[in-house]
Structure 1
Amino acid sequence: MQTENRLFDDIARVASGATSTLVNIRTELESMIKQRLERILTDMDLVPRDEFEAVKAVAAQARAEQELLEERVAELEASLNKNLPNKGEKRYKKPPKK
């Protein structure tokens, strides 16, 4: 009977040691994967999210200003064309969009 208890104790110790070893291996693998991913992302030279959002906001503002200026130029061209003598063709034309 005592032999069986000792056998179960040994099995429990081995299982406990194996579990501890597996947890350590898992932790080490997670650490290695994280380091490699960080290195890969650093090598990719990605832009941080906050910088991207800042540039996006600047681009949106520039686009809005461009649209306002396009409207203003169109109004100025219309006013200049209105004041020209009527010879069948407008002197100021809006260039084609690219």
Structure 2
Amino acid sequence: MADRPRFFDDLAGAAGGAFSALTGLREELHAVVRARIDEVLSSLDLVRRDELDVARELATRARMAQEDANDRLARIEERLADLEKAVTAPSSHS
């Protein structure tokens, strides 16, 4: 009676095999569901979060560069106006 009956060993082996099969089935099901979700998302023309973050960062940098360019242009136009006034102003030496 010290030895376990072979039946329990066989049962434990079958349970282990079933557990392995279920684990494999779960992983395969997960892969199929993930592929289907990716397929649906791509058909909706959605973007991934990381792509959106990159686009947002590019837009922010572009907006900042545009604001800098506008400021520079305003300063250049101001200087040009001052130079035009200086050139067209009557000379005070006459």
**TM superposition score category, shorter chain reference:** 0.5 to 0.7
Which 4+ runs in 1 deviate beyond 4 A?
Answer: none
**Do structure 1's residue 18 and structure 2's residue 30 form an aligned pair?**
no
TM-score, normalised via structure 1 length: 0.51
Corresponding residue for residue 61 of structure 2? 60
Output the CA distance in 2 between the equivalents of 1:66 and 1:72.
10
Code of the residue aligned with 1:10 in structure 2: it is: D
Sequence identity (%):
25
Output the CA distance in 1 between the equivalents of 2:30 and 2:76.
63
CA displacement at 1:81 relative to structure 2: 6.8
The answer to which structure has the higher helix fraction is 2
Corresponding residue for residue 92 of structure 1? none
Corresponding residue for residue 5 of structure 2? 5
**CA RMSD of superposed structures (Å):** 3.7
How many positions carry a matched residue from both structures?
A: 80
TM-score, normalised via structure 2 length: 0.52
Code of the residue aligned with 2:77 in structure 1: it is: L
Corresponding residue for residue 70 of structure 1? 71
Deviations 1:19-76 (A, max 9, x none): 1221222122221222122113312322673xx45x817x624642442333323442
User: Could you say which structure has the greater relative contact order, defined with CA pairs below 8 angstroms and 6 or more residues apart?
Assistant: 1
Corresponding residue for residue 36 of structure 2? 36
